[in-house]
């Protein structure tokens, strides 16, 4: 089974801090994704990557950046955390034919 | 703007009944369709995928696709309390970026013992 591992399950950060969320997958998938999930808003795509060093903006990229230096690792960076970035963050990876496999999620609280 | 619409629910059914979850999508270029189950506090897990018109069965789950009407549904037969979760519909199109899925906001299902 594909495993997608997110480094932290719960995270509390202060406003203005730079925050790194890490995601690692073990199945050599080319495509990786970062979503945030909020009540009533569903899953919203922040950024995705289809190859090493390649990235594309999703629907809500403002305030975020990403890094993909190795195929298995896709990092989400909050440049200066704000309270409206308090959310559940979900990483996913996909091979060419199937749906996504999600990580267990990181619940981020910005205070 | 590609959209995927689901009734948010909550949908309640008694144990043993059939639960019917519906999803409509706006992009006629959509080619691949997925149903995810998400338990409270957990991440979504893929339970069904369907690519062509008609029905696809997997155990107690049946996915139905009608591309002409732009809807996809999920039927859960003999519903169990353990099926209580939020069900997310997801669609992949082959226009624009073919690499991402667009998700509906989910339908919350409660199966009453």
Residue B7: its pLDDT value, please?
83
Residue-wise pLDDT tens digits, B29-54: 888 999 999 999 899 999 999 999 99
Q: How far is B104 from chain A (nearest CA, A)?
A: 7
Q: How far is B18 from chain A (nearest CA, A)?
A: 25
Residue-wise pLDDT tens digits, A26-38: 988 889 999 999 9
**Is residue B87 less than 8 Å (CB to CB) from chain A?**
no
Contact criterion met (CB < 8 Å) for A100 and B101: yes
Residue B2: its pLDDT value, please?
61
Contacts of A41 in chain B (CB under 8 A): 105
Contact criterion met (CB < 8 Å) for B105 and A41: yes
Residue-wise pLDDT tens digits, B96-108: 555 678 899 999 9
**Is residue A80 less than 8 Å (CB to CB) from chain B?**
no
Closest residue in chain B to residue A48, using alpha carbons only: B100
Residues 6+ apart with CB under 8 A from B107: B6, B7, B8, B9, B11, B21, B22, B86, B87
């Amino acid at each position: 089974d594909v495993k997608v591992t997110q480094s932290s399950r719960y995270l509390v950060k202060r406003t203005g801090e730079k925050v790194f969320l890490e995601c690692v997958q073990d199945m050599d998938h080319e495509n990786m994704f970062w979503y945030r999930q909020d009540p009533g808003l569903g899953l919203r795509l922040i950024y995705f990557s289809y190859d090493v060093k390649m990235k594309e903006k999703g629907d809500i990229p403002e305030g975020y950046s990403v890094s993909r230096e190795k195929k298995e690792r896709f990092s989400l960076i909050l440049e200066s955390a704000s309270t409206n970035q308090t959310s559940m963050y979900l990483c996913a990876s996909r091979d060419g034919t199937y749906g996504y496999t999600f990580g267990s999620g990181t619940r981020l609280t910005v205070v | 703007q590609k959209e995927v619409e689901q009734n948010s629910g909550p949908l309640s059914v008694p144990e043993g009944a059939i639960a019917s979850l519906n999803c409509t999508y706006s992009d006629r270029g959509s080619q691949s369709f997925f149903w995810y189950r998400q338990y409270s506090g957990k991440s979504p897990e893929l339970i069904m995928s369907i690519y062509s018109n008609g029905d696809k069965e997997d155990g107690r789950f049946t996915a139905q696709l009608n591309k002409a009407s732009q809807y996809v549904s999920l039927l859960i037969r003999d519903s169990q309390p353990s099926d209580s979760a939020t069900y997310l519909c997801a669609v992949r199109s082959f226009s624009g970026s073919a690499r991402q899925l667009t998700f509906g906001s989910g339908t919350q299902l409660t199966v009453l013992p």
